[in-house]
C-alpha cells in the first residue's frame, strides 16, 4: 500500500471514531472543484454585494467597503454531496451573523430564509437560522490565502460542521454558493438552482439528505 494511501486511511479511521465522518462519506486530502458553468471574471472596480428583501433597509457594499467589514476566522469540516469530506478546513471572511448583531444588516421579524444570488443567476437557499449561525461564513480566504477563482474568488458562502456542536445543523457543502453577489432575506422559502434540479432542500449530512430521490 502506498504511504499516502495508508496515511489517508488512518486519518479517515480517526475522524470516523471521533464521530465526524457522516454516513456515505469518504475523507479526501485534496480539494475537488465542482460547480456549474464557467468561472466568472472579477473586476474590483465594478464588483458589489447587495442585500435586500425582508430587511429594514437595503445595503450595498463595493469591494473596498466589503474589505473593511468585521473579519472572522472559522475552522470546520466540510462535506460534499458527491461523497467526499475534508476536515479542519480554515476559512476567513465575514460572518453574516456578526453583521446582523452589529446592526449593519437589520432583518425584519418576517425574515426566515436567505437566498444567495451568485454570478450567472445561480442561486442557493438556506434557512436563516443556518445562515446566521457560527457555521456559515462569507469567505474570501481559504487556508491563509485568497480563494482561487475556481473555488469562488472573490467571495463565496461556506457552510460545514463544527465538531462537538450537535445543536447546529450541518448542510452539504453546496449550500454555500460560489461567486456571491447578493443576499436576499425572505419570508418564505424558495428553491435554489440545485434544489430545483432535485437536490434535497434541507441537505442534512447526518441524515444523508442528498436528493429528493434518495441516492
The pLDDT of residue 133 is above 80:
yes
Beta bridge partners of 55: 107
pLDDT value for 164: 86
CATH classification at residue 97: 3.90.420.10
Would 88 be classed as within a structural domain? yes
Would 215 be classed as within a structural domain? no
Would 115 be classed as within a structural domain? yes
Q: What pLDDT, in 10s, does the model give residues 59-68? A: 999 999 999 9
Would 19 be classed as within a structural domain? no
Q: Which residues, 6 or more positions from 103, have their beta carbon under 8 angstroms from its beta carbon?
A: none
Would 28 be classed as within a structural domain? no
The pLDDT of residue 215 is above 50:
no
The pLDDT of residue 214 is above 60:
no
Entry pTM: 0.93
Would 36 be classed as within a structural domain? no
Would 71 be classed as within a structural domain? yes
Q: Which residues, 6 or more positions from 42, have their beta carbon under 8 angstroms from its beta carbon?
A: 149, 153, 154
Would 4 be classed as within a structural domain? no
Mean pLDDT calculated for residue range 180-209: 97
Of all residues in the chain, the percent with pLDDT exceeding 90 is 86
Domain count, the chain: 1
Domain that holds residue 186: 46-207
The pLDDT of residue 191 is above 70:
yes
Contact 170, 135 (CB under 8 A): yes
Mean pLDDT calculated for residue range 79-83: 96
pLDDT value for 82: 95
Amino acid at each position: 500500500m502506498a504511504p499516502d494511501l495508508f496515511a489517508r486511511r488512518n486519518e479517515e479511521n480517526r475522524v470516523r471514531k471521533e464521530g465526524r465522518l457522516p454516513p456515505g462519506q469518504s475523507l479526501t486530502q485534496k480539494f475537488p472543484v465542482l460547480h456549474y458553468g464557467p468561472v466568472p471574471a472579477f473586476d474590483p472596480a465594478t464588483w458589489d454585494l447587495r442585500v435586500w428583501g425582508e430587511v429594514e433597509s437595503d445595503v450595498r457594499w463595493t469591494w473596498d467597503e466589503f474589505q473593511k467589514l468585521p473579519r472572522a476566522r472559522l475552522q470546520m469540516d466540510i462535506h460534499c454531496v458527491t461523497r467526499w469530506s475534508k476536515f479542519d478546513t480554515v476559512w476567513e471572511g465575514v460572518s453574516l451573523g456578526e453583521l446582523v448583531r452589529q446592526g449593519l444588516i437589520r432583518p425584519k421579524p418576517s425574515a426566515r430564509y436567505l437566498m444567495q444570488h451568485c454570478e450567472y443567476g445561480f442561486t442557493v437557499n438556506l434557512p436563516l437560522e443556518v445562515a446566521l449561525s457560527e457555521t456559515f461564513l462569507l469567505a474570501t480566504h481559504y487556508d491563509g490565502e485568497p480563494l482561487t477563482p475556481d473555488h469562488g474568488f472573490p467571495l463565496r458562502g461556506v457552510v460545514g460542521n463544527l465538531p462537538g456542536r450537535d445543536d447546529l445543523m450541518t448542510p452539504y457543502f453546496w449550500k454555500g454558493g460560489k461567486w456571491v453577489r447578493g443576499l436576499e432575506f425572505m419570508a418564505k422559502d424558495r428553491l435554489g438552482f440545485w434544489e430545483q434540479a432535485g437536490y434535497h432542500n434541507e441537505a442534512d449530512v447526518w441524515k444523508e439528505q442528498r436528493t429528493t430521490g434518495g441516492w
